[in-house]
A and B are shown apart, each in its own frame.
Chain A
């Protein structure tokens, strides 16, 4: 079974927010909904050193999505490949999913008065392309693929950095 996912190499993310605008372009989003949003963390003193980091926050495509559970119209579903999708035609705009999501991934769209979310660019994936955020990231900080492959990739990278 495939479980498609994104994994961020936070060491490589420098907060340029290109992924955000690439996502806006790809999914034709206006002002308001931010399906991916890079949050600045810090600077905080950690172990005597001032640290500043960037975390691209987006839908994590949970195995048991709390948003799906609470949706009264069953607008949210999980595809076989793991992608959690929201059918806006069925969306009431009740916002129950926004309340349920622990990560703030569900975004209000003022134009349609419905909820929208990261689709992992399913339309691109179906054509064999990477999601827009992945393709546009200057430092290739966003990894995309089956979760098992991604952890393996991270492992290799980590191992290489230790022995470099």
Chain B
């Protein structure tokens, strides 16, 4: 049964973002077993399927173990194993050529929603080269909208898993997320809160696992989140339940917000959202009267056409109920004094000069996503992809990517075409993916079990990840890849002298330099805590132009956006395009997560694939019956503007409204030996759009709240 012997080592899991503590049994230098670490302050022994099964990622027979150089045509799947030296020399020479010929901005880099070291690794590459074209490539539809909204409203982010104080909360409102499948610790903590009497509310078009445990589930029509939030605000304001003291002392624009909410009485909101007016009132009362309450905002609210303004409406909701930075509410994290946070480089003082930032793709169209004033400063990916194809506003000739863009971005055809236009595509990866198949070089990345790292993805402590095994084959820490490429280009590693002097191996000590701690002295399983502080704004105010919570956003006004949150009807919907809806009668939502997979990772892992073996589309049994579709049938899916069709396996469920269907995203078939690995078969992004209309602030392409049609397959 279980292997005996070896040693048990502590480290930090990174199968998702949560950073749980794990105990790893290592026998003869090999991982034999993974368990939760009961002593970890956050995870307290918890583990999930992804975490346990990560051993099958590490030792998967398909894992990339050596640098590969393309020898055939792009996408022909002909590779030659090369030495690191050869690969890096070639990459450096090519990058210098491109930089010389087209300028530094023609070189872009990105990482995905994977939590590997790829984020600083790719960021530092462009920083060193002097290009502002870097992004977490999916930010325009995930993370970006609420980050912008919360920054202009409070000056910081407040609705993520590191912000919600579920353990001290009386009411937890989960908006557009299913933490049972995505952030299982959060779901566990919600269950614990529920057991001690806290009220649980879930806003979701689907009856998810999380919603199934809620006291109240609000089933809204996809894409109408802002209307629902405004309806809740209307009730709170109309019934004078808001926190009057906090509002008068710490908010600006309350009267203007009140004026806007007058257009959203519960009855009207009910018509827009499909949620009963009575339920809107009940939720408003429960959420407001629970003291304190916290709100957990997830991507369901961001993949929609009105992503940023709906995040703004929700931001106002948290503010006027007085739940900001209070025990049991939504907290600003406090890390040990002096810690340079994991994403420090996106803060103003660490960024490239303004004239460089103005050149970033998307800076003109979406200044709060991509311009110098943006809270983070990331290129707008669809526009970058178009620039690869059209050379407008200027050519993009090289991309270094640490993610699987062909699966994650809308409009698969366009991204594949664009990547083929590049002079140089380099991929940092664990596996050969449909994206990596288009590359010139594929560089094998180390997993989190094979590297040392400072971990600060918590609300009030930091710890370290210690490698438990040596990297397999020739896999490298991604930060080292970047360092070595930059060195060969004879450029400085990052613009910051202190990091230049320390090199990539000094990155952790650079981040700790002002804390009094030395990285090597912190052992696995040691935690450095910061004292928990509340109402930190009472010292210095909020980092907004007024120093207060801006219900009426002066920044949005300055940039020409609506300073107040508002509902905008999805650009494709039975209400806005009734003619189109006759041919495409279903409202499509895409990309609801399932527990085994982290975005496009995990489909090749036997234990995980067994849990969710097929790419599914969920459809209500009554709707399915009308189309002659039965459980398990393969069906075709088409969208009005998508080219072609994809096949999905029908899953009949009453979890959805009969007019709404839900398709999983990121589906590929790693087991297919063709170079596209089944990219075109069941990947819903073949049918999503990267063309305008974009959401005006963050440039979101709606991937939830589209129209589609479904029909039974004959030749599938």
Contact = CB atoms under 8 A, between A and B. Distances in A.
B1 A28 contact: yes
A164 B610 CA distance: 40
Nearest to A164: B197
Nearest to B596: A17
Interface residues of B, number: 40
A14 B47 contact: no
A15 B34 contact: no
B2 A52 contact: no
A43 B653 contact: yes
Contacts of A17: 49, 595-596, 611
B213 interface: yes
B655 interface: yes
B563 to A, nearest CB: 39
Q: Dominant SS at the A interface?
A: mixed
Contacts of B610: 31-32, 34
Contacts of A14: 180, 187, 191, 209-210, 212-213
Contacts of A44: 654
Given A14-B180, A21-B53, A52 B46 contact: no
A22 B49 CA distance: 7
A20 B611 contact: yes
A80 interface: no
Contacts of A138: 46-48, 184-185, 187-188
Interface string B42-57: 0000111100110100
A135 B35 CA distance: 9
Interface in A77-101: none
Contact of A53 (B195, B212, B653): B212
A114 interface: no
Contacts of A125: none
B85 interface: no
Interface string A19-30: 011101111101
B33 interface: yes
A153 interface: no
Interface-central residue, A14, A32, A45, A54, by most chain B CB under 10 Å? A14
A85 to B, nearest CB: 13
Interface in A36-63: 42-45, 50-54
Given A17-B49, A43-B654, A123 B184 contact: no
A12 B194 CA distance: 10
Contacts of B608: 21
B94 to A, nearest CB: 42
Interface string B492-523: 00000000000000000000000000000000
A32 B610 CA distance: 8
B353 interface: no
Contacts of A16: 48-49, 180-181, 184, 187, 209, 595
B654 A50 contact: yes
A125 to B, nearest CB: 12
A42 B55 CA distance: 33
B212 A22 contact: no
A26 B655 CA distance: 33
A32 B192 CA distance: 33
A25 B85 CA distance: 39
B47 A136 contact: yes
Nearest to A53: B212
Interface of B: 1-2, 33-36, 46-49, 52-53, 55, 180-181, 184-185, 187-188, 191-192, 195, 197, 207, 209-213, 595-596, 606-611, 653-655
Which A-B residue pairs are the 10 nearest by beta carbons?
A52-B212, A21-B49, A138-B188, A43-B654, A21-B52, A14-B180, A15-B209, A139-B191, A31-B606, A138-B46
Given A21-B611, A25-B34, 6 more contacts: A12-B191, A16-B209, A24-B52, A24-B607, A25-B33, A26-B2
